[in-house]
A and B are shown apart, each in its own frame.
Chain A
Amino acid sequence: MKISGAQMVCEAINLESVDFVFGYPGGAIMNVYDEIYKQDGFKHILTRHEQAAVHAADAYARVSGKVGVAMVTSGPGFTNAVTGIATAYTDSTPLVVISGQVPLALIGTDGFQEVDAVGISRSCTKHNYLVNDINELPRILKEAFYIAKSGRPGPVLVDIPKDITSEIAEFKYPDSVNIPTYKPSYNGNNRQIKKAVDAILEAKKPLLYIGGGTVLSNAYQDVREFATLTGIPAVETLMARGVMGDSNELLIGMLGMHGSYAANMAMSEADLIISLGARFDDRVTGKLSEFAKYADIIHIDIDPANIGKIVDVDYPIVGDVRTVVEKITDSIKDKIKPQRYEVWRDILKRYNEVHPLTFEDSNDVIKPQWAIKRVGELIGEKATITSDVGQHQMWAAQFYPFDRPRQWINSGGLGTMGFGLPAAIGAKVADSEKIVVNVTGDGSILMNVQELVTASEYKIPVINVILNNHFLGMVRQWQTFFYDKRYSETDLSYQPNWKKLAEACGGIGYDVTTKEEFDAAIKDSIEKNQVSFVNVAVDRFENVLPMVPAGGALYNMMLEYKER
């Protein structure tokens, strides 16, 4: 079959069973958009900014487990997409980004809307291609999808010069890929696994340290089963919230800078850390020389480069979390009783009783933590929660009762403000049965606020709960703690009219100052089934606690803030 390059792109997307593509057209990608118009496979969602297209595709991938696809034009279209690509890269999301490029003959001439897309994206993509021969396009598209989703997932850019999209050539989409230089290993070395099993059998205070890789490898049931079978308690990273499930007694909590006291103490006192798809991020470890000082470390990760990068590892296992956990479970099944760690679990339970995650509620003003808990009570497991970046993100991670992985979608690694609303759109498109709530701040929401229009146009009802503190709250908190309250450029007292803003874009707005109004707004918003802003006036000076000050040891947590 002879078809054009533009048709090849559409064919490949359909053959990969991607049902939604997010994008924004422009000169260099117009041939592809012409084919999108003609085809009746995937649906295209026109976001109002390329960054948002990539975030939406990213969240679509995180919720569905499929590869997300975003499409942009050359030059500014591509550079707008870079923040989205970097966000996906840091959180290992499988993504294929198709960008238009100036015609081959113009490359290198500083042509109109020419930028070196592969050069710019080299360090924030898993791999990228500049197509320079139509005959290679089918193979490249196939490889792009394969590389994006295999091994440690990540975004792959395919940059296609305009003339290649109009050229005609034979199209046969390959059934399989053969990249001799790329062979991810999934199985884990059996000898290493055996050693790890022996270490687990020896340990007195073992701890599961669960990271985002567990979500990516769809391992949550295996991990829960392993934990139940052995009675080994678990802590979750920001990226892994939902893996154990909120009601699971073995879940001690989230660890890290704003993790719970008990989770961080568990890390500090354990004698064996079993790391599952986690990468020892600095927001998790705190001061490295004090991190997990008494523990041997089993590190299970599909990316060998993660192992031994930050901490020395005693039992390195390169492999897929799910496959390796299955193997470990198999060989440990009959050898271990959950009673063995009862004392250890009691210690951790006690820590949770002494210093639980908590806040002081008020009847005069809505506390942001209350709002999160309330959404949990009102919607619970029926919700997919997305978030932006800042205090609201941490409170959502701390206080929402997550039941399952892929329920919590946030930019954990890059911390990209502006992620939340487009991510909510992608999340809703991927699983429309769920009620999608974007927990956001009055700073972050403005960074992709134009997506209100997208949500209205396509009738994608997402609820944006704006925890409005009239501050860039997280930065303000650092200024309070570490900069003697010099609130340099963080006061957001000058505000838009949120209700009118939502309405102007075809949504609904609610201004909320009391708990009753909050409940009413959430309920009404669910009922009306329309994109909404729930603008919640919250306590301006609330701080996210507890906190491990940057560079401090995990066990040295600031549990409360005392006015000096």
Chain B
Amino acid sequence: MQKVRRVISVVVQNEAQVLARVSGLFAGRGYNIDSLTVASIPNSDMSHITIVTRGSQRVIEQITKQLHKIIPVYKVVEHSSMVEKEMVLIKFPLNENVNIANIQALFEAYNGSIVNASDKMIIAMAADESKRIDHCVEAASIYKPIEVVRSGVVAMERQ
């Protein structure tokens, strides 16, 4: 069966072990995790876990059902199209080959900017869809980045 990429958004009760239960499910049943992010939902005792995974239609369906079975899981949303964003931080060395203005322009194209600068290096940030972040990282490679850190995807239903 053909594999599809899916963003699954899980709302969980904030309690000990809950992340282990979710990630353990993926490990134990051999499901794939491309990225996973967690953060608490403001003014509630819930957290939001966003998981990017890949699998056949049957596997994706199983993942959502198995997630539902975890007792502290409140809600599982799986849609083929959600609003999704990812952030990346990239650190560049400062030397005669590097043109800060070019880097600034590049990151502006990806909803970003330069966020930190010192005499030896600068850090730039971009926030965009994952695919576009891929492009951004690729484009930035000509400036010989020292470090690239991606946040993983966060997502929200359109309706």
Contact = CB atoms under 8 A, between A and B. Distances in A.
A122 B21 contact: yes
B34 interface: no
Contacts of B134: none
B38 interface: no
B20 to A, nearest CB: 7
A86 interface: no
B71 A181 contact: yes
Main SS of chain B's interface residues?
A: helix
A245 B114 CA distance: 76
Interface string B62-79: 100110110111100000
Contacts of B13: 180-181
A316 B67 CA distance: 19
Nearest to A179: B71
Nearest to A119: B20
A51 B74 CA distance: 34
Interface string A109-137: 00000000011001100110010100000
A127 B68 contact: no
A179 B13 CA distance: 10
Contacts of A305: 62, 65-66, 68-69
A308 interface: yes
Contacts of B73: 181
A473 B24 CA distance: 36
B21 A308 contact: no
Interface string B1-43: 0000000000011001100110011001000000000000000
A564 interface: no
B69 to A, nearest CB: 6
A122 B24 contact: yes
A127 B20 contact: no
Contact of A118 (B12, B17, B25, B74): B17
A482 interface: no
Nearest to A122: B24
A181 B20 contact: no
B61 interface: yes
A237 to B, nearest CB: 21
B58 A127 contact: no
Q: Specify which of A132, A181, A309 lies most central, judged by the most chain B CB atoms within 10 Å of its CB.
A: A181
B24 A123 contact: yes
B58 to A, nearest CB: 7
B131 to A, nearest CB: 30
A256 to B, nearest CB: 22
Max chain A C-beta neighbours (<10 A), residue from B16, B65, B69: B69
Interface residues on B, range: 20 to 34
Contacts of A494: none
A147 interface: yes
B71 A123 contact: no
A309 B62 CA distance: 6
A304 interface: yes
A6 B71 CA distance: 26
Contacts of B16: 130, 132
A309 B25 CA distance: 15
A389 to B, nearest CB: 23
Given A180-B74, A181-B73, A309-B62, A304 B68 contact: yes
Interface string A168-203: 000000000001111000000000000000000000
B74 to A, nearest CB: 5
A236 interface: no
Nearest to A309: B62
B74 A181 contact: yes
Contact of B61 (A119, A127, A308): A308
Contacts of B25: 123
A91 interface: no
Nearest to A123: B28
Given A181-B74, A182-B71, A305-B66, A122 B17 contact: yes
B24 A127 contact: no
B68 to A, nearest CB: 7
A132 B13 CA distance: 17
Contacts of A50: none
A451 interface: no
Nearest to A182: B71
Interface string A291-335: 000000000000111001100000000000000000000000000
Nearest to A130: B16
A123 B28 CA distance: 7
Nearest to B74: A181
Contacts of A181: 12-13, 71-74
Nearest to B63: A305
Given A122-B17, A181-B74, A303 B62 contact: no
Interface in B115-142: none
Interface of B: 12-13, 16-17, 20-21, 24-25, 28, 58, 61-62, 65-66, 68-69, 71-74
10 contacts: A118-B17, A127-B71, A147-B71, A180-B13, A181-B12, A181-B73, A304-B68, A305-B69, A308-B58, A308-B62
Given A309-B62, A309-B65, 18 more contacts: A118-B17, A119-B20, A122-B17, A122-B20, A122-B21, A122-B24, A123-B24, A130-B16, A181-B12, A181-B13, A181-B72, A181-B74, A303-B69, A304-B68, A305-B65, A305-B69, A308-B62, A309-B58
Counting from the closest, the 9 A-B pairs by CB-CB distance are A305-B65, A127-B71, A181-B74, A123-B28, A182-B71, A304-B65, A305-B66, A181-B72, A122-B24
Interface of A: 118-119, 122-123, 126-127, 130, 132, 147, 179-182, 303-305, 308-309
